Amino acid sequence: MKRVVILGSTGSIGRQALEVAAAFPDHLRVVGLAAAASDLFAEQLTRWRPDVAALVDPEASRRAALASGRAVLAGPEGVTAVAVWPEADLVLNAIVGFAGLAPTLAAIEAGKDVALANKEPIVAAGGLILAAAGRRGVRVFPVDSEPSAIFQLLGDRPAADVRRVILTASGGPFYGRPADELAGVTAAEALHHPTWRMGPKITVDSATLMNKGFEVIEASWFFDLPVDRIEVLIHRHSLVHALVELTDGVILAHLGPPDMRYPIQYALTYPTRRPAPWPGLDLADAPPLEFRRPDSSGFGCLRLAYQAGRIGKSLPAVLSAADEVFVADFLGGRIGFGDIPRLLGDVAAGHEPFRIATMEDAVRADALGRQAAREATRTLAR
C-alpha cells in the first residue's frame, strides 16, 4: 500500500489524482490533502478522511473544518505540514504556480519522493530541487503528460544514447490562425482547449504555447539536456505525447489517449504498472498521426522560453512569474491575448539574470518578475 499526499487536491490534476486513487483502493491510500480555498475541499475530506489536511486560506479552512467535522490546518505552513507528513511515501504536487516550490522542497528535505504535476517550481528552481533530491536520496519525476512520456521512454537509458527528444503540442485553440487575428481573441476562446481538460492558467498557457516552452525548460532539467536538443512539434490529436530519437536515428514514441489519468496513474503507482480502468487507445480507429513545426511568429512565448532556457540563471523564474501575472490579467480583461508574449518579451529584456543558489534567490526572482509584470500592465492601461 502506497501512502499518498495530494497538494492542490481541488484543481483539475488533484481531482483526477483522486479518481486514480479511487480506482486502486488496494494499492493507494490518500493520507494528506491540501489546496488553496474551495468548497469542494470539505467533500473531499468527508470522502477520503485523510490523516492531515490544510487550506491556504484561513477562513476557508474554518468552513471546511465545520462542514466536514475534521481538523484543517491553515496557511502556507499548514500546506507544508501536509507535504512533510511522516506517514506519506509520495507527495503529488499539483499546486499551481510558484507557490508549489516551497512545499516541494519541504517534501524532499523530509525524505519524500515527489511527483511534480506543476512545472513552475522546476522552471524557477530546477537546480535547487534536483540538488536537494540528490542529497536526500529521493526521486522527483514529472506527472505532466509529455515529460512523463519522455521519462517512460528513457528509463535507465544513458544520455549518450539520446540525440534529441521531441515534445508534442496540440497547438491549442488558435493553431493555424495568423498572428494579426490573435490580438482580439477572448478569454472564453482561449479556455476552449481542443483535447485536454485542464485548469484555466495552464489552458491559457497552452493557447500561447508558453506551457510547451515551460515543458522544454522542465525537460532540460529532468533529463539533463540542453534546450536545443529538445524539439517541439504540433500534433493536433494529442495521441503521441513525446518521442525520443536515439543516436542511431531510431525514434521511439509514447502513445496514449489524451487523458491525464494515465500519467497520473503511472506517477502514483511507479515503478509498478497496473491495468488502467480508463478507455484505451484503438489505433485502428485513430486519426492519422500528423506533425507540424510550430509557428514562432504567431506564438512568441515558445521562442522566449527557449531563450530563457539557454540563458538560465534567474531568467526562467522571472519569465514564469511574469506569465502568471499576465495570464491572470488576460483572464481578468486587463490585457489582450496578443499582449502576453509582447509584454513577456519586455520583462525578459529588462531583467539582469543572476544565479539561483538558494530559496531566497528563487523568491527574489519570482518577486522581480511579478513586479515587472504589474508595472507593464499599469503602463499599458494608461
Give me the domain span that covers residue 137: 2-143
Residue 32: which residues within 8 A CB-CB, separation 6 or more? 4, 5, 6, 50, 51, 52, 53, 82, 83, 85, 88, 91
Q: Are strands 73-74 and 162-169 parallel, antiparallel or unpaired?
A: unpaired
Other C-beta atoms lying within 10 Å of the C-beta of residue 278: 13
Are 127 and 152 found together in one domain?
Answer: no
Q: Give how far Cα 11 sits from Cα of 36, 173, 253, 277, 311, Å.
A: 9, 21, 29, 22, 32
Q: In a 3-state reduction of DSSP, which class is residue 156?
A: coil
Distance from C-alpha of 7 to C-alpha of 54, rounded to nearest angstrom: 9
Count CA atoms closer than 13 A to 85's CA, side-chain side: 27
For residue 273, being part of any structural domain is answered with no
Report the CATH number that the domain containing residue 310 is assigned in CATH.
Answer: 1.10.1740.10
For residue 345, being part of any structural domain is answered with yes
Are 74 and 189 found together in one domain?
Answer: no
Please tell me the predicted confidence (pLDDT) of residue 170.
Answer: 86
Structural domain total, the chain: 2
Please tell me the predicted confidence (pLDDT) of residue 190.
Answer: 74
pTM (2 d.p.)? 0.93
Supply 246's cell numbers. Answer: 536515439
Digits of tens for pLDDT over the chain (382 positions)?
A: 999 999 999 999 999 999 999 999 999 999 999 998 788 999 999 999 999 999 999 999 999 999 999 999 999 999 999 999 999 999 999 998 899 999 999 999 999 999 999 899 999 999 999 999 999 999 999 999 999 999 999 988 888 899 999 999 988 777 767 777 777 777 777 777 666 566 788 888 888 899 999 999 999 999 999 999 999 999 989 999 999 999 999 999 999 999 999 999 999 999 999 999 999 999 999 999 999 998 766 678 999 999 999 999 999 999 999 999 999 999 999 998 889 999 999 999 999 999 999 999 999 999 999 999 999 999 887 6
Are 70 and 199 found together in one domain?
Answer: no
